Amino acid sequence: MKIQTTRKANYEHNCACEFSDRMINGQGMGDISKLKYGFFCMSYNGCEVISVYNALRYIGKPQPLQEIAFYLEKYRVLFGLFGCNVYRIGKALKKFGAEYERISEVGDTPAFIISFWTGKRFRSSLHTVFCRRENGRIKIYNRYNNCDTVRYADSPEKLLGGRRPVVIYAIKNQK
């Protein structure tokens, strides 16, 4: 099977699916879980795609999730087994009109995309989420695969569970 054919087949499959036009939480729930990315359903490996989608919605430049997934398929890791190359998320942000800066610490950044290990480094999976500050707390979108509500953390350390981030993108053009 050709990789290009897989990208196109996934795009066609994803365009046939319908889901509500809102910020996404719980990638393993509802219609989002049925979308495809690489050789897998997005419930398994779509967090990078969803984080870009949520960031673009937040800054007022929403794009169809199918378009973002199709673009990021160029940067999938092992046919999507490990999702998207997190160091290429900036390329998608730029393509779809978001201003961003790659940073090393969250600090007091108002809105950001962050990737982190869910357990021990290199022995667990990476997870990527879009976050924004609200009333002194960090609002986390798509924090858990099976939770369709927004979660909150009081600090970046609590968000990461004591682990170091892999990559952070500060979103510059905010509402």
Residue 15: the pLDDT is 87
Residue 68 parent element (H or E): helix 65-72
pTM of the predicted protein model: 0.90
Residue 42: the pLDDT is 83
pLDDT in tens, 61-114: 999 999 999 998 876 655 555 567 888 899 999 999 999 999 999 988 999 999
DSSP track, 108-143: T-SEEEEEEESSSTTTS-EEEEEEEEETTEEEEES-
Q: pLDDT-derived band of residue 50, with 50, 70 and 90 as boundaries?
A: very high
Residue 119: the pLDDT is 57
**Mean of all residue pLDDT scores within the chain:** 84
